[in-house]
Amino acid sequence: MKKAILVNDFASVGALNKMLEEGYEVQSTDERGVYILTKEENIKKSINTELSTNITLDTTKAQRAFDLLGETVEQIKVGSLKPESIRELSRDEINKINRKIIEKSLATSNTKQPHIRIEFDDIRDVPKVWVDGELIEELVSLKVDWNTNTAVEGHKEFDINYLDLSDGSCQCKGFHQRTAI
């Protein structure tokens, strides 16, 4: 830090002496009595190296994925899923298995899954249908007969048919529900 002081009387000599006592040093003077003083500042900066934080993570989905991985390993151990058969799967089959694992993981999370979920973007598309959180892969037919309730409750019905290829045989299965009038 630099300061300048004009020393031309007894009071200014006292001020100069006080500044010298405070640690200032004379850098230069001129013929008019102006003193340029400097002082080295010892600024000590302390850094707190003790940091702490709390992190809250919701690990239910990750835990479910680990559980599914454990189930897969168990299936390999008991022989219902052979490692060599995994190597023979195509990329599409592996993606289907991955989708099923993800959907099963999402279906078992804390969020309540609807019993039946139907999605489609265009009426000409094959709709995606989930029953209890599980995607119906080989949808054969879907019929929904439902109207909002008015003064008289009307007939409501759904009929979902699909091919079950999970055990190697081709079986037609379905879900049906209707109201009785």
What are the beta bridge partners of residue 135?
130
What local confidence, expressed as pLDDT, does residue 83 receive? 55
Please tell me whether residues 21 and 66 are part of one structural domain: no
Tokens 């709390």, residue located: 54
pLDDT band at 170 (very low <50, low <70, confident <90, very high): confident
Residue 51 lies in a domain: no
* Distance between CA atoms of residues 78 and 42, nearest Å: 73
Token pair listed for 124: 């000409």
Residue 16 lies in a domain: yes
Please tell me whether residues 147 and 136 are part of one structural domain: yes
CA distances from 73 to 67, 106, 114, 134 (A): 10, 20, 29, 21
Please tell me whether residues 100 and 128 are part of one structural domain: no
What local confidence, expressed as pLDDT, does residue 161 receive? 92
Averaged pLDDT of the chain: 76
Please tell me whether residues 125 and 148 are part of one structural domain: yes
Residue 176 lies in a domain: yes
Give one DSSP letter per residue of 30-65, joined into a string.
-TT-EEEEE---------------------HHHHHH
Which pLDDT tens digit goes with each residue over 59-102?
Answer: 777 777 777 777 777 666 666 555 555 556 666 666 676 666 66
Residue 175 lies in a domain: yes
Residue 32 lies in a domain: yes
Please tell me whether residues 64 and 88 are part of one structural domain: yes
Please tell me whether residues 120 and 177 are part of one structural domain: yes
Residue 52 lies in a domain: no
Please tell me whether residues 119 and 167 are part of one structural domain: yes
Task: Residue 129: give the domain boundaries.
Answer: 113-181
Residue 47 lies in a domain: no
Q: Which residues contact 181 (CB under 8 A, 6 or more apart)?
A: 153, 155
- In this prediction, what percent of the chain has a pLDDT beyond 90? 2
Phi/psi-derived region of residue 39, left when phi > 0, alpha when psi is between -120 and 50, beta in every other case? beta
CA distances from 37 to 1, 3, 28, 142 (A): 8, 5, 7, 93
Q: Is the pLDDT of residue 48 over 80?
A: no
Give one DSSP letter per residue of 86-125, joined into a string.
HHT--HHHHHHHHHHHHHHHHHTSSSPPPSEEEE-SSTTS
Please tell me whether residues 103 and 135 are part of one structural domain: no
Please tell me whether residues 85 and 96 are part of one structural domain: yes
Residues 178 and 157: beta-carbon distance below 8 Å: yes
Q: How many domains does the chain have?
A: 3
Residue 55 lies in a domain: no
Please tell me whether residues 172 and 117 are part of one structural domain: yes
Please tell me whether residues 140 and 178 are part of one structural domain: yes
Please tell me whether residues 176 and 126 are part of one structural domain: yes
